[in-house]
Structure 1
Amino acid sequence: MAYRSGCHTTFHHRYHLVWAPKYRYKVLIGDVRLRVREIIRQVCDEMGVTIVNGALSRDHVHMFVEIPPHVAVSDFVRRAKGRSSRKIQQEFEHIRKRYWGQRFWQRGYFSTTSGNITDDIIMRYLDRHTHKDGFSPSA
């Protein structure tokens, strides 16, 4: 386990996050998938969130991230979902027509810390995930 340090803190806050498009439609494909990935990475860079691992399936975003203590998990997810929803609907007309109510993502998200299960179990799951095209640190 590697701890990270800030100006006044030392921490190891890892979260397993999952959220999905409304109605679990399989719309995270092709250019939409690449754009969602790019937007979420931008949000991570801006907020100091480190992507440990992740996968982008056709119908959900699945991430294992390290979030610094000054950033609330809910703020990170709110910004990632909000910005990606707005930009995806602006840039892809077929998405804007399908989600005419301007809500691309389902309400809420799943979040857990890696305390109940080990980091290795989460990493193995994400490595075996069927649509591995996501947020690996080397990509």
Structure 2
Amino acid sequence: MDENTHDWRTGRHVAYELHAHIVFVTKYRRKVMTPRVAKLLEETFGEVCERFECELEEFETDKDHAHLLVAYPPKTQLSTLVMSLKTNSSKRVREQDWPEVRQALRGDHFWSPSYCIVSCGGAPLEIVREYIRDQQKPNRKYRRKTNE
């Protein structure tokens, strides 16, 4: 997609384009992300996102963490979405009783209790700040500032 085009979504009284980059880390940073664990996580995250009327746009794992790019509507409370993503995925992985997970993690936990979430997309913050500051200026022009 061209960087100047937007994938606007609409609701009854709203137009929006909201994305969150979410990172989950396994409990004790255990390296349990095998291909089958990652596949099950991606399926589960996709199902949970659907229930929240969200879209899992990107997903990838490394040995001890997972990255998600989620498009979400304004009515979605991100903390509730995150709780559901973590709870459902942890439960489904633990139900499999795979040795790589069972041997690395004791108890019912799969994820660390913390997570990282970053809003992303659209114009860089400095451009948005400049746009807002310049609303009353006549003949305003918006160009990206360069370091030239």
Q: Same fold (TM over 0.5)?
A: yes
Quick check: 1:53–1:64 contact (8 Å CA) kept in 2?
Answer: yes
Query: Residues of 2 paired with 1:39 and 1:72: CA distance?
Result: 19
Q: Which amino acid aligns with 2:116?
A: F
Partner of 2:22: 17
Counterpart pick for 1:76 among 64, 73, 81? 81
> Using CA pairs below 8 Å that are at least 6 residues apart, which structure has the higher relative contact order?
1
Calculate the aligned-residue CA RMSD, in Å.
2.0
Counterpart pick for 2:43 among 38, 42, 53? 38
1:22–1:117 Cα change, 3 Å: farther
Count matched residues.
Answer: 118
Query: Residues of 1 paired with 2:106 and 2:74: CA distance?
Result: 36
Query: Residues of 1 paired with 2:112 and 2:123: CA distance?
Result: 26
1:69 CA drift (Å): 1.1
Query: Residues of 1 paired with 2:121 and 2:50: CA distance?
Result: 25
Quick check: 2:45–2:56 contact (8 Å CA) kept in 1?
Answer: no
Query: Residues of 2 paired with 1:117 and 1:9: CA distance?
Result: 19
Structure richer in helix, relative to its length: 1
Q: Which runs of 4 or more aligned residues in structure 1 lie more than 4 Å from their structure 2 counterparts after TM superposition?
A: 115-118
Partner of 1:88: 93
1:22 CA drift (Å): 0.7
Counterpart pick for 1:101 among 79, 104, 107? 107
Partner of 1:128: none
Question: Which blocks of at least 5 consecutive residues in structure 2 are unaligned?
Answer: 1-5, 125-148
